[in-house]
Structure 1
Amino acid sequence: MKNHNSKDANENLKLDIPTHFAPAGRKSIKDLDDDVIQIATNTFINGLMTIANGLFAVLNDKRQIVALNDSFLAYIGIKDSGQLLGLRLGESVACIHSCEMPGGCGSSNYCSTCGAAVSIITAMETKQPQERTCALTIEKDNQNIDLYFNIRSCPLVVHGNQYILLFLQDISIQQYRACLDRSFFHDINNILTALVGKSELISLRNQPSEEKLKELHNIVIRIAEEIAIQNSLQNSLDVSYKPMYTEVKANSILSEVEQLFKDHPLAAHRTLEVNYVPDEIEIITDFHLASRIVINMVTNAFEATPEGGKVTLSIELNQNSISFCVWNDGAIPKDIAHRIFQRNFSTKGNIGRGFGTYSMKLFGEQVLGGTVQFESTEDKGTTFRFTHIAQ
């Protein structure tokens, strides 16, 4: 990761640094040192350093760290605060987007949707405290890790200079639990809605067909499997669910999805077009998880499709893999597309939101070893792909 601390400051003062969101310029080494000394000798801030509950840092008017407490250092795993002075928040925690632009944290395409950046900038502009939640992905030990913070930015003027008191609380575990719960209840509600729709049709018939009874039986089994997965995941903070691999016909997954959305309210006044492949096409996978991923893709597509519209479910056959593809005519806004697979990101502010697309990627990639991707443009619409290795 590029280092954006004080040694780059003089260069940043001279250049018109490009940015997609917040101003990218930094203070000179001398001015930064003056900020550090001014804050270090302030008795009020020294008191906050001691009593602040959780992570605490002080930023100058260029959003650079000029002081931070021991809890912050311990959280990052650094003993010498000098290594972080002059950095911005995202750079200090190794946010994966903090090195995408020369201006560092706050200047990338992703930063306009970052709760921390918005909180800090808004507090500076309004001169009022601002509180936001911040979903970010950091790089640690060559792995990407999702974190979720509650952030409060409080403006403060010291001897005519503007600073931001930054209070952070890591609520990643609470968010993880909330995401699991919300994903579970979303999926269960989706299945129960299908169950109600089919049972209502059966109740109108004197003699329900064997086919309809079998559909009901399959839905009940799916509910039981959803509960088993939820119990497994709630018992740990990692993906501990062990897939049940069997030989599965690709068409059986398409059929499972098609049957679920028959008589489903989401499919009312909308069309689900399913394009089957030759019946001999098989993969080794966990049938329930694979179909769950595709069901979520179709659910998202239906939710984004107006009445009278169409959703297409198909399979692409590749040399060493097959892809389950779900298309709808709408386009995903760019600010949402940037973070659509991030566990903690949502266009809505509630904790536990934004897990639907993340869970597709979680199960599709970390559990089943495939890939989940999407393409979205105004002229071609949106296609989600779950690609599974052909074994």
Structure 2
Amino acid sequence: DKVKGKSNYILFKRASKEDILDQSELFKNNEILNLFLNKIPSISFIINEYRQIVYMNKYALEFSKINDLSEAIGKRVGELLNCIHSNEGKGGCGTSEACSYCGALNAFLTSHDGKPTVEDCQIILGPNKEAFDLRVWAHPTIYKGTQIYILTVKDIKHEKRSAVYERIFFHDLLNTITGLNLNIQMLKKKDCTDKDLFLERADYFVKNLIEEIQSHQILNAAENGDLLLRNTKINSIEFLKDILSFYEFQSKFNSKIIKIDVQSKNITFNSDTTIIKRIIKNMTINAIEATSKDDIITIGCKSDNNQIIFEVNNPGIMSKNIQLQLFKRSFSTKGHNRGLGTYSMKLLSSFIRGEIDFRTSKENGTTFFLSIPLNSVIQS
């Protein structure tokens, strides 16, 4: 781990205000350098050995949503961009536990050892917690006797999005169609004695196929800002029964048990059924994939602190490294370019003024929560 192997000197120490201003002047007064950096259509930062910004080009200013370089001087890149982890550690950006998984920090640390490098960085920025996929190049150099590092940043969201979408969509689609085809072939056999069973399975795979297509349509619309809300009356218990019914066959097939919490509250409220269903189904899929044979998955609903809270629990425990990377756009526990589950939950919940959270412990397993403001309730 690059981060754990570094001293407090690199991660925590900062240059004085006077030194920062002196370093910044080296670049601000260089007309040729300014012209060159501002002609290159990429986001560029120049940082010192303490990871503090001493210069940035106009594309970096635009990406950071600031008007003047003076607003950035002395800050670290995560602090300027308002990374959600930049204030968690005692030393600011780069010093929290989550920072050990930051591609931008690891790129800098490699370049600090004298090696130019490139890393992909999954980061969540700003008050709206917007997820970004960035590619960060870090190059060490010495300018007028001062050690500096040039960071070049590229937004690769669309590149990642295309790769992940295609891989997930075609992988899941192929699995579903293969399952459907196998059951149809069994039904075509003259000596088939379990036609009702194979019809039930075929029906499940057809429904799953429709769900997969709708899921990708919804997520694509959400990312493009084109998602239209369709508020309808929702009864919480009937909603949970619908979820249970959909996954009943899959849970039997996988020897998992899904049940509704007997303490679930019967609440009727107005919201978008499709979005809530997509979120809870993602939670349920994750729970099914995270559990072992004969494990029990519990889905439920309660009201607390002026909120309706849907929850999905499984007995598994989530490791710390996974907890620290949840909700990042391209992060997956399933392997390269495989999952958008927790990210999509977070994104979709924002459209219904909802919040996604989780708890995990040895005693109670892992529970994911969807909280929706109670002021949307119309009847209980």
| TM-score, normalised relative to structure 2 | 0.78
- Structure 1 residues 244 and 34, CA gap change in structure 2 (3 angstroms): closer
Q: Could you tell me which residue of structure 2 aligns to residue 336 of structure 1?
A: 322
Q: Could you tell me which residue of structure 1 aligns to residue 366 of structure 2?
A: 382
1:104-136 Cα shifts (integer Å, max 9, x gaps):
2112222111111111112102x1111111122
- Structure 1 residues 276 and 21, CA gap change in structure 2 (3 angstroms): farther
Distance in 2 between residues matched to 1:42 and 1:347, nearest whole Å: 47
Does residue 37 (structure 1) correspond to residue 25 (structure 2)? The answer is yes
How large is the RMSD of aligned CA atoms in angstroms?
3.7
Distance in 2 between residues matched to 1:374 and 1:196, nearest whole Å: 37
- Structure 1 residues 384 and 202, CA gap change in structure 2 (3 angstroms): farther
Residues 64 and 81, structure 2, Cα contact 8 Å, conserved in 1: yes
Select which of 102, 112, 126 maps to 1:114. 102
Q: Could you tell me which residue of structure 2 aligns to residue 71 of structure 1?
A: 59
Q: Could you tell me which residue of structure 1 aligns to residue 3 of structure 2?
A: none
Does residue 230 (structure 1) correspond to residue 216 (structure 2)? The answer is yes
Select which of 129, 132, 139 maps to 1:147. 132
Note the 1:113-132 alignment, pairs <5 A.
Answer: 113-125=101-113, 127-132=114-119
Distance in 2 between residues matched to 1:181 and 1:244, nearest whole Å: 30
Query: Which structure 2 residue ranges, 5 or more long, are not aligned?
Result: 1-6
Distance in 1 between residues matched to 2:181 and 2:330, nearest whole Å: 31
> What's the % identity of the aligned pairs?
27
1:167-220 Cα shifts (integer Å, max 9, x gaps):
111223444455554554465456446545655665676355557535533542
Residues 257 and 294, structure 1, Cα contact 8 Å, conserved in 2: no
Residues 232 and 241, structure 1, Cα contact 8 Å, conserved in 2: no
- Structure 1 residues 229 and 357, CA gap change in structure 2 (3 angstroms): closer
Distance in 1 between residues matched to 2:81 and 2:265, nearest whole Å: 50
Q: Could you tell me which residue of structure 1 aligns to residue 40 of structure 2?
A: 52
Residues 257 and 294, structure 2, Cα contact 8 Å, conserved in 1: no
Does residue 312 (structure 1) correspond to residue 300 (structure 2)? The answer is no
Note the 1:270-285 alignment, pairs <5 A.
Answer: 270-275=255-260, 277=262, 281=266, 283=268
Residues 264 and 302, structure 2, Cα contact 8 Å, conserved in 1: no
The CA deviation at 1:369 is: 4.8
Note the 1:223-262 alignment, pairs <5 A.
Answer: 223-231=209-217, 233-234=219-220, 237-238=224-225, 240-243=227-230, 245=232, 247=234, 249=238, 250-262=240-252
Residues 28 and 34, structure 2, Cα contact 8 Å, conserved in 1: yes
Distance in 2 between residues matched to 1:340 and 1:286, nearest whole Å: 24
- Structure 1 residues 83 and 372, CA gap change in structure 2 (3 angstroms): closer
Distance in 1 between residues matched to 2:192 and 2:335, nearest whole Å: 48
Query: What secondary structure sits across from 1:143 in the alignment?
Result: coil
1:18-65 Cα shifts (integer Å, max 9, x gaps):
x99961111112322332234456688556514433011111111111
1:50-81 Cα shifts (integer Å, max 9, x gaps):
44330111111111111111221233233321
Distance in 1 between residues matched to 2:175 and 2:8, nearest whole Å: 39
Q: How many residues align?
A: 361
Select which of 164, 171, 174 maps to 2:156. 171
Relative to structure 2, which stretch is displaced further, 31-40 or 102-111?
31-40
Select which of 84, 96, 103 maps to 2:72. 84
Query: What secondary structure sits across from 1:105 in the alignment?
Result: coil
Query: Which structure 1 residue ranges, 5 or more long, are not aligned?
Result: 1-18
Query: What secondary structure sits across from 1:79 in the alignment?
Result: coil
The CA deviation at 1:324 is: 3.8
- Structure 1 residues 224 and 275, CA gap change in structure 2 (3 angstroms): closer
Residues 195 and 219, structure 1, Cα contact 8 Å, conserved in 2: yes
The CA deviation at 1:338 is: 2.1
* Structure 1 residue identity aligned to 2:327: F
Query: What secondary structure sits across from 1:49 in the alignment?
Result: helix
Does residue 359 (structure 1) correspond to residue 349 (structure 2)? The answer is no
